[in-house]
Chain A
Amino acid sequence: DGGITQSPKYLFRKEGQNVTLSCEQNLNHDAMYWYRQDPGQGLRLIYYSQIVNDFQKGDIAEGYSVSREKKESFPLTVTSAQKNPTAFYLCASSIPAGVSDTQYFGPGTRLTVL
């Protein structure tokens, strides 16, 4: 059963703690992405990676970090430097297909800071 999995579905964090959100795909896609979704706003790009061992900052990278050591995995760490981390986090992946790639999304992780 191919697809993108994100875990956990719900995550609670105390202020000052770092947390890591998991994103795994078995679609053999080269590119992976992290987005943040807040109520009433569209998705905003945090980080993206076009290839293993390489990644770029998106529009709202401050307070977040990523790694891309394996093609199928792209974990996101929300650090204590992120001032307002409560949000719905979505991971996506794509395969190069011309000038613009279709991204396929995981089911998301809802992070709540207590």
Chain B
Amino acid sequence: AQSVAQPEDQVNVAEGNPLTVKCTYSVSGNPYLFWYVQYPNRGLQFLLKYITGDNLVKGSYGFEAEFNKSQTSFHLKKPSALVSDSALYFCAVDTGRRALTFGSGTRLQVQP
């Protein structure tokens, strides 16, 4: 069965510093990986996805993610955090059934 793990419930970072939100996956086939962001009482917004090709994927709002097959990871990164980046971030995987399996989420707090 496919699964996604987000090992950190919360990540705290100072504004202007780089941020990383971690995600590891376990699938039997080729992984198709996604990152979404959720603001309070709202739906999820798509940030980026990895299907194939370049291991570094660039997405919305300056975010990027690095696919690492040997470590089965897909960590979300941003070079310089903003207070407005504070939100709940979800990693998700699809192995071709065209429905997503989500991680438990990581709350990002960016302090001014």
Residues of A that sit less than 8 Å from B by CB: 4, 6, 31, 33, 35, 40-45, 48, 50, 58-59, 90, 92, 94, 96, 98-108, 110
Residues of A within 8 Å of B112, CB to CB, are none
- Nearest CB in chain B: distance from A56 CB, A: 8
Could you list some 30 contacts between A and B, CB below 8 A?
A4-B43, A31-B98, A33-B99, A33-B100, A35-B102, A40-B104, A40-B105, A41-B104, A41-B105, A42-B90, A42-B92, A42-B103, A43-B92, A45-B100, A58-B99, A90-B44, A92-B43, A92-B44, A96-B98, A98-B51, A99-B96, A100-B49, A100-B51, A100-B98, A103-B46, A103-B100, A104-B46, A105-B44, A107-B42, A108-B42
Determine the chain A residues whose CB is within 8 A of the CB of B99 once the complex forms: 33, 45, 48, 58
Cβ of A48: which chain B residues have Cβ within 8 Å of it? Answer: 98-99
> Measured between C-beta atoms, what is the minimum distance from A44 to chain B in Å?
7
Instruction: Give residues 6-29 of B contacting A (CB, 8 Å).
Output: 6, 9
